[in-house]
Structure 1
């Protein structure tokens, strides 16, 4: 039975996952981990938070700027680097998250539409629509999803 993004909570819920998460950039696997967290928020496909140490050496490079999430706190950004490709500000983390999201300290999320491919188990992820959100759509999560034109303020 599929999960429905419309039934995810607001404020978001943090959920541990041991599903296999893989990320490919520049033809190279830069992540292969079963030690991740999912953030589930109404109208969004899950965002996956991966331990920073699960990223291939040299694939995360600090980037300028920050942003603020009302639920998780202040985010910092990373460029993703592999196989001759550089994805500016393609990933982010919360080094000092709010108490409710303390478990994702030391974890990194990324935009699946900016890399070659992301997989959950062996299923290739469809990126959340738009360029603002970083959700991962798989066959076990039903929309509709925020991100497409006209949906940002649902």
Structure 2
């Protein structure tokens, strides 16, 4: 059963107004990611993917990431909207997390703009920022959305939401 949409207040977006299939758009705010005390990504050139019922997922160009901290894995998945992606572990100093980032190496035509950009699970990072705001990770371990104060749900990802 589809949940009740939370009406957005001025300056907010409802994830229930996002399209299906998903779309990609430029981000006007800087994005920063910190892991084990190190800024591993910092950009003013991010993209975000918007899809019904999901908080945005942010994609950062490889040029704005300290790639020496990413270790590509053999895990490859397919998204019906975005294409084929590969996952990376992240290791900074003595801290290591598995499959914490992913990139689309074979995107579909509508998502060519995120080819080889990386997205990160906020739940596995020390901190992820959109502008000056510390994001909250989307619930669950399947989706990688970032929740900010200007986004309202309810959000897919938590227990009982897979059928939405």
**TM-score when normalising by structure 1:** 0.97
Alignment of 1:1-154 (within 5 A): 1-154=11-164
Residue pair 1:16, 1:37 contacting (<8 A) in 2 also: yes
Q: What is the aligned length?
A: 154
CA distance in 2, matches of 1:27, 1:115: 10
CA distance in 1, matches of 2:15, 2:93: 34
Deviations 1:68-119 (A, max 9, x none): 1000111101111224211111011111200010100120111000111100
Which stretches in structure 1 are left out of the alignment for 5+ residues?
none
The structure whose Rg is larger is 2
Deviations 1:134-153 (A, max 9, x none): 00000011110001100012
Cα RMSD (Å): 0.9
Which stretches in structure 2 are left out of the alignment for 5+ residues?
1-10
**Residue 57 of structure 1, CA deviation:** 4.1
**Residue 18 of structure 1, CA deviation:** 2.8
**Residue 59 of structure 1, CA deviation:** 1.5
